[in-house]
Chains A and B, each alone.
Chain A
Amino acid sequence: MADDQSAVGRTVLVGSGFSYWRRKISSGFFTALFSSSMLVVLLPLILIVGYLFYKGAASVNMNFLLHRPAPVGEPGGGMANAIIGSAYVVGIAALIGIPIGLFGGIFLGEFPQAKFSNVVRFVADVLNGTPSIVMGVFAYTVVVLPMKSFSVLAGGFALGVMMIPTVLRTTDEILQTVPNSIREASLALGVPYWRTVLSVILRSAKSGIITGILLAGARVLGETAPLLFTSFNNAFFSYSLTQPISTLPVQIFNYAISPYRDWHRQAWAGALVLVLAILIANLGMRAFSRQKDEHSV
């Protein structure tokens, strides 16, 4: 049946002058085909998110949110230290990723035509596509080996490097939408250029830039691979920059591949908490990007 109709479509396109109805049918067939591919794509999303909520909601409780992992074989325990650890590592990553991404992005947005800007854009896009596990190896050779220890710093470095391209490119794009008249108005008032950028242009692009930072943060929050051998793992609460720390994604991974049923349950609970955190960041992003920038009024 399906083959029949696509064959009809082909003949229509090869020769002209075929009947109206045959062309109409082939068009309808392809419309249906493309619409159904949308459904096929949505199916796994519904299955994954649905199963995640079904499994996770039954496992998240106060014990899970407030306690550190119990020793092997003892039931109970939770991922409180991993939740704090994830926030800690992403915080360090933000300290590295935001300044470089932001200031570099301002340069690109303010000098969009420069050849150098195009090179940086290209490199940032390529860096963005570099596998996260490679970033982990990079952080290992640069931070873990010299310090001779897994640490928060190493994990933060790996994630920070991964944040740079996202922050850079969103800042770049948002600054290019700021109308030139605003720049000119400020310069005409005798305001130095640097002051124009910092006080006028950045302010008018504020919500777009925050959206980019949230996007970058939400992305690295779920990263597991670069943390496996940088921030490593820790069964206890830890706040030292130079010590290994437990993070939510790594903890989920370790529990998922373990043979214990209770740890599987906790892995689902951790996964739900992680997805909710990312969802909240996404909602925040939407709120910010919907909020109109001053120049668009």
Chain B
Amino acid sequence: MAVEIENAGAIAGPLKVERKSFIRADAVFKAVLGFFAFLVIVLLVWLGIELYLSSREAFANAGFWNFVKGTTWNPVSEVFGALPFIYGTLVTSFLALLIATPLGIGTAIFLAELAPKWLTKLLQPLVELLAGIPSVIYGLWGIFVLSPLMANVVEPFLQNNFGYLPFFKGYALGIGFLTASLILAIMIVPFIISVSTEVLRTVPVPLKEGMYALGATRWETLKKIALPFARSGILGSIVLALARALGETMAVTMVIGNTPKITESLFQPGYTMAAVIANEFTEATYTSYLSALIAIAFILLLITLIVNAIARWLIWRTTKAL
């Protein structure tokens, strides 16, 4: 309170200024602010154009679709096909989503609907902490803890019990699609939790109270009221997490094995779009090699732009429906 009074005294001066300059100053001020806001749009457009221009050479050399469809990546003979990386990115991301989605939604329901307030207050910062750990540290843990565990325990177990499935064939190396997907799942779960929790909290309480008053159980109320109401927003959180998984670089690079091959076995090493950029960018010694890597970045940008736009649209639809 005191501050505001003090303020009013401090700014009494400009009152003497003529009215015209007053209005002009405000217009200039608004324009300056608007300019900075506009810069954000400029930035995204600039990003797209810059990457497109730098990747033109790669697309011109192979043709856009041939570049996307090409299965051979051999910088020595100057053959660049991006399919192994696109495949790796899609497989690891969807597998991660498969693991993270039920856990994330379950946890969100627990935090938003079931847990007592004090427990939510305690657990929510922990979930945020999980989101705040840098990717390189997940990778470090992946290399030295998770990967040996996968090679010695999890993968042999899967092989012994489900070895007839094509996904679980081959040597258990501990580095490859499965380990990368698991690390990714751990990393994206917080995004699903935080957005879904927020969306579930927007479900109007009177609706739920009405359901309880009719004698419904907790689960019935959830299933019939809360989940249908929050469906679009929860879906948005999943798509948002997908966008994160698609672009995640360091942790995946450290555990996926970095081999540009398309295999159906999840035990085998693979490669992702983000990982090949991270690994080979400083080794790209001639322009068409560099251009091919930037082209992969451009494709990655396009995919994540679309996925993000869908996610935002889904989330906005729920939160604005209030």
Classify the interface of chain B: helix, strand, loop or mixed: helix
Say whether A195 contacts B11, CB under 8 Å: yes
* Complex contacts, B65 vs chain A, CB 8 Å: none
B69 located at the interface, meaning its Cβ lies under 8 Å from any Cβ of chain A in the complex? no
Given contacts A26-B217, A107-B36, A218-B132, contact A129 B250 (CB under 8 A): no
A95 located at the interface, meaning its Cβ lies under 8 Å from any Cβ of chain B in the complex? no
B207 located at the interface, meaning its Cβ lies under 8 Å from any Cβ of chain A in the complex? no
Say whether B126 contacts A203, CB under 8 Å: no
Cβ of B131 to closest chain A Cβ, rounded Å: 9
Most chain A beta-carbon neighbours within 10 Å: one of B26, B110, B312:
B110
Say whether A108 contacts B37, CB under 8 Å: yes
Say whether B278 contacts A228, CB under 8 Å: yes
* Complex contacts, A134 vs chain B, CB 8 Å: 47, 51, 247, 297, 300-301, 304
Say whether A141 contacts B33, CB under 8 Å: no
0/1 interface trace, chain A 99-124, chain B, CB 8 Å (1 if under):
11011101110100000110110111
Say whether A45 contacts B40, CB under 8 Å: no
Say whether A120 contacts B218, CB under 8 Å: no
Given contacts A45-B126, A223-B134, contact A137 B294 (CB under 8 A): yes
Given contacts A52-B141, A225-B249, contact A127 B44 (CB under 8 A): yes
Q: How far is the CA of A26 from the CA of B240 in the complex (A)?
A: 31
Say whether A38 contacts B123, CB under 8 Å: yes
Say whether A252 contacts B140, CB under 8 Å: yes
* Complex contacts, A116 vs chain B, CB 8 Å: 34, 37
From A57-65, A77-85, A160-168, give the one contacting chain B: A160-168
Q: How far is the CA of A168 from the CA of B38 in the complex (A)?
A: 12
Q: How far is the CA of A8 from the CA of B3 in the complex (A)?
A: 62
A13 located at the interface, meaning its Cβ lies under 8 Å from any Cβ of chain B in the complex? yes
* Complex contacts, B7 vs chain A, CB 8 Å: 186, 199-200, 203
Identify the closest chain B residue to A135 (Cβ).
B47
Classify the interface of chain A: helix, strand, loop or mixed: helix
From B71-79, B99-107, B156-164, B260-268, give the one contacting chain A: B99-107
0/1 interface trace, chain B 181-215, chain A, CB 8 Å (1 if under):
00000100100010000000000000000000000
* Complex contacts, A136 vs chain B, CB 8 Å: 277, 281
Cβ of B29 to closest chain A Cβ, rounded Å: 4
* Chain B contact residue count (CB 8 A cutoff): 99
Q: Which residues in window 88-102 of A have CB below 8 A to B?
A: 99-100, 102
Q: How far is the CA of A93 from the CA of B36 in the complex (A)?
A: 16
Choose from B28, B133, B250, B281 the contact partner of A48 (Cβ within 8 Å). Answer: B133
Say whether A224 contacts B136, CB under 8 Å: yes
Taking Cβ atoms with an 8 Å cutoff, the residues of B that contact A are 1, 3-4, 7-8, 10-12, 14-15, 17, 22, 25-26, 28-30, 32-34, 36-41, 43-44, 47, 50-51, 54, 102-107, 109-111, 114-115, 123, 125-130, 132-141, 143-145, 186, 189, 193, 217-220, 222-224, 240, 243-244, 246-250, 254, 274, 277-278, 281-282, 293-294, 297, 300-301, 304-305, 307-309, 311-312
* Beyond A31-B219, A52-B137, A135-B47, 18 additional pairs, beta carbon < 8 A: A34-B110, A34-B114, A37-B102, A48-B141, A107-B33, A120-B40, A131-B274, A138-B51, A161-B43, A186-B7, A190-B14, A191-B14, A192-B25, A193-B29, A222-B133, A224-B250, A256-B136, A256-B144
Taking Cβ atoms with an 8 Å cutoff, the residues of A that contact B are 9, 12-13, 23-24, 26-27, 29-31, 33-38, 40-42, 44-45, 47-49, 51-52, 99-100, 102-104, 106-108, 110, 116-117, 119-120, 122-127, 129-138, 140-142, 161, 164-165, 168, 182, 185-186, 189-195, 197, 199-200, 203, 218-219, 221-225, 228-229, 232, 249, 252-253, 256-257, 264, 267-268, 271, 274-275, 278-279, 282, 286, 294, 297
